[in-house]
Structure 1
């Protein structure tokens, strides 16, 4: 909880810096370029070097964690390929992709994240509320269907496939158009699940009689 609060404060500060820096630096290609401009303006070349060191150390733990976890997973999935081979392939491919540039990486990763993140967030929320709706599987099913429908269409919109009806969804302009469909899906799943359970119990009682 403390770590989450500190991260929220740090990212809130970064968001504020990015917002107020537009008047001086204008619109940049990505957030990394904006932060680099801010640090160079405030601290000069030494500050830029320090920022590079901080970025490297901050990303090192994430990189190591992702490489080891992915390699372990695929080693179990494909026993014929050794862990060492997998971690070598992932390390080399990651190095190649990293040198493509952040702007190009974001160009391809953002649509995928736009589709995946809402589903992941909703899944975590309804899992935390599992006891509230007594593990009703239809809540999971309906909620994920509604959320994925909107998030995937929103992701496709970044490739030029626009679905104008989505513009009518609340919070869509903020990238949060999936919230209301998720809530509607959860309610519909809860109601349908309860009705279905009552119907099953009624049939069971009639058979037992």
Structure 2
């Protein structure tokens, strides 16, 4: 019965995803005007109820490095990864709406980014608060999915589970619509339109539904090592692009990526279950390493190395005339 329900849900999700994605020009409207508002309403109901009427009390955490753990757990949201993809959708939508000047696009992108950041702050901050209020009610052995379901059920009963189900479905749908549209456009261009956008939408949607059949916990278990390896690089590149006017050379990007990967890949392999204690004995000499942020130091080292390399190359060229 459970398998039949899962199959039905996947088929429904697949159909809805294709429906919202197949019309490329309408993707941003569907996400911004329809899906996201409903998602935020559902989450707001859950979070505000939990703040007004907490289900429990705060307690001292027994986690040795709560910030580092929470930060790395946040990789699973894939927000930073998705933002690099969704940026293309937003910029394209701005162009289609007549915002051709660079200044206009920058201003509107900044505004949309701030709105998104505030929304994420409310959602994740609220969910963290709910989790904190439930810390005396559940043991650390409970799974992520079971935890959020249990919290919402204690808050709002069966209605809470329905609201959570709608929120999760909408969250997945908004992400899948955006990623499907962007991926379909990319692979369509990559194949020089031998496989059209609409055909690629169907292919990607079917593949996604197949992956979804494995369930949340298995998907997370599989994806965590990949995310741990890739996410620090994405964060570094986003920050470097933000301050690109101060960097002004490509070598810094290359070196920062390489030196960040040296650490993040080790973390990823460790997350996959490999015993790398001897390597960590060396890594722990780096600043922030025990908190899980050794890649920050190596990224800065890569940036500085790239800037120095660029400076000396320019000096040599100038000297040689």
Give the structure-2-normalised TM-score: 0.59
Pair 1:8-2:107 in alignment: no
Judge which range, 34-43 or 50-59, deviates more: 50-59
Secondary structure at the counterpart of residue 178 of structure 1: helix
Give the deviation of 1:23 after TM superposition. 2.3
RMSD of Structure 2 on Structure 1 (CA):
1.8
- The equivalent residue for 2:72 is none
Shift of the alpha carbon at 1:161? 4.4
Q: Give a deviation string over 1:77-123, Cα, whole Å, max 9, x none.
A: 12332333322221122112112111100111111111111111111
Report the CA distance between 1:38 and its aligned residue.
0.5
Instruction: Tell whether 2:307 aligns with 1:190.
Output: yes
Alignment of 1:90-105 (within 5 A): 90-105=204-219
Matches within 5 A, 1:30-179: 30=144, 32-78=145-191, 79-133=193-247, 135-159=248-272, 160-162=274-276, 163-164=279-280, 165-179=282-296
- Deviations along 1:29-88, one digit per CA (max 9) or x if unpaired, are 22x332111000111111101111122223222211111211121112123323333222
Unaligned runs of 5+ in 2: 1-113
**Contact in 1 for aligned 2:228/2:271 (Cα 8 Å):** no
After superposing the two structures, state which structure 1 stretch, 104-113 or 1-10, moved more: 1-10
Q: Is the 2:256–2:300 Cα contact (8 Å) retained in structure 1? A: yes
**Counterpart contact for 1:25–1:37, Cα < 8 Å:** no
Q: Distance in 2 between matches of 1:173 and 1:99?
A: 36
Task: Point out the more displaced range, 172-181 or 98-107.
Answer: 172-181
Q: TM-score, normalised by structure 1?
A: 0.88
The 3-state SS of whatever aligns with 2:246 is coil
SS in 2 for 1:132: helix
Identify if the C-alpha distance between structure 1 residues 13 and 173 changes in structure 2 by more than 3 Å, giving closer, same or farther. farther
Matched, 1:202 2:319: yes
State how far apart, in whole Å, the 2-side matches of 1:3 and 1:137 are: 29
Structure-1 residue corresponding to 2:138? 25
* Partner-residue secondary structure (3-state), 2:244: coil
Q: How far apart, in 2, do the equivalents of 1:66 and 1:2 lie?
A: 20
